[in-house]
Amino acid sequence: MDAILTVDGVSKRFGGLMALSDVSFAVERGAITGLIGPNGAGKTTMFNCVAGIYTPTDGRILFADGVGEPLNVAGRKPERMTALGVARTFQNIRLFSALTVLDNVRIARHCRTSANFFGSVLRTPSQRAEERAIIDAAMENLDFVGLGETALSPAASLSYGDQRRLEIARALATDPRLILLDEPAAGMNPRETEALVDLIHAILGRGVTVVLIEHDMKLVMRICKRLVVLDHGIKIADGSPQEVRANPDVIEAYLGKGAAHA
């Protein structure tokens, strides 16, 4: 398997709580991987470790951009992970709500642009060209998720489903190779969820690898090529949706003790 991301023995401790203990799995390049598990299993914590928000207490996180050697990126700052090509969305939407839809996405071009204070004040030709390119890239991503026409509205005025899509557009605008989606379908109606499925496939079509946390099992089983199951910070299963669905540990984790044998 050509792994874009390899999580190797990662643990994360919060005080006395092991949110992740010795978790290992690999994410296949160019596929959709699902990260599932009951509430509090440590899924978001895993994303935060990969995205650089948290430094793992232990273990390695290898990121292979497909060109050079895989790099151990555990403990890198979030902005450096973004620059490397790892983007993410948040479970509890984190938009820049006082700003416009466009500005939310324009900010995401930060790590791919370079104008500084002096360039901004003097409005040098290169700064102006860059600003134009930023708008073009932002609009391209907004159109990609279907929000192009709302570009100049306040982000806070979007519907819940649109806010989730705006987060995706923002993440995509950083030009990632790997995108981490934390419960993108949460709070969406069935029609919005369908559109989301198409969107995720389109993201894949752009050559971006997708990892997805999702509680909607039907959705997960349908679109993921591989699943990783966490429970209480421990990886309990890993494999194709069919394999995982048949795994007694998984059934037990979701339905409680004894369920697997009933």
Partner 1 sequence: MLEQQLVNGFTLGLIYALIAVGYTMVYGVIELINFAHGEIYMLGAFLTLSFISMGLPLPLAVLLAMLAAAAIGVLLDIIAYRPLREAPRLAALITAIGMSIFLQNLAMIIWGSRPLPFPKQALPAFFSEPALTFSDVTISWMQVIIYAVALLLMVGLNLIITRTRVGTAMRALAQNQTAAALMGINVNRVISFTFALGSAMGAMAGIMVSMYYNTMYPTMGYLAGVKAFAAAVLGGIGSVPGAMLGGVVLGIAETLGAGYVSSPYRDGVAYAVMILVIIFRPSGLLGRAVTEKA
Partner 2 sequence: MRGAAHTLKYLLLAAALAYPLLPFRDVYVLHVLVLIMVYMVLAMGLNILPGFCGLLDLGFVGFYGIGAYTAGLLTIHYNMSFWLIVPLAVLNGALFGVLLGAPTLRLVGDYFAIVTFGFSELVVLFLTNEIWLTRGPLGIPGIAPISLDVTWLATLLGVDERWRYAFRGEVPYYYLAMVMVALVFLVMTRVEDSRLGRAWLAIREDPMAAASCGVNLFAYKVIAFAVSTGIGALAGAFLARWTLFISPDMFKFWESFLVLCMVVLGGLGNIRGALVGSAILIALGEVLRVALPKLGLPAETRFLAYGLIMVVIMRFRPHGLFTQVAESTMQSGLIKDLRARIAARRTA
Residue 71 near partner 1 by CB under 8 A: no
Distances (CA, A) of 112 to 85, 124, 133, 182, 208: 10, 18, 11, 24, 17
The Cβ of residue 129 has, within 10 Å, a number of other Cβ atoms equal to 11
Closest contact distance (angstroms) between CB of 47 and partner 1 is: 9
Residue 44 near ligand ATP by CB under 6 A: yes
Closest contact distance (angstroms) between CB of 91 and Mg ion is: 5
Under 8 Å between Cβ of 11 and 20: yes
Residue 260 near partner 1 by CB under 8 A: no
Contacts of ligand ATP in 74-133 (CB under 6 A): 91
Residue 108 near partner 2 by CB under 8 A: yes
> In this chain, which of 3, 31, 53, 217 binds partner 1, going by CB under 8 A?
53
Distances (CA, A) of 227 to 49, 50, 123, 187, 230: 18, 17, 49, 22, 10
> In this chain, which of 41, 145, 180, 199 binds ligand ATP, going by CB under 6 A?
41
Residue 146 near partner 2 by CB under 8 A: no
Residue 235 near ligand ATP by CB under 6 A: no
Closest contact distance (angstroms) between CB of 40 and ligand ATP is: 4
* Nearest-10 Cα torsion for 36, 40, 46, 49: 160
Closest contact distance (angstroms) between CB of 89 and Mg ion is: 12
Distance CA 45, CA 15 (A): 14
Stretch that binds partner 2, among 22-30, 97-105, 202-210, 241-249 (CB under 8 A): 97-105
> In this chain, which of 35, 90, 208, 244 binds partner 2, going by CB under 8 A?
90
> In this chain, which of 45, 127, 150, 247 binds ligand ATP, going by CB under 6 A?
45
Residue 54 near partner 1 by CB under 8 A: yes
Residue 53 interacts with, from Mg ion, partner 1, ligand ATP, none (CB under 5-8 Å by kind): partner 1
Closest contact distance (angstroms) between CB of 107 and ligand ATP is: 24
Q: Which residues bind partner 1 (CB under 8 A)?
A: 44-45, 48, 53-54
Q: Which residues bind ligand ATP (CB under 6 A)?
A: 14, 17, 19, 37, 39-45, 91
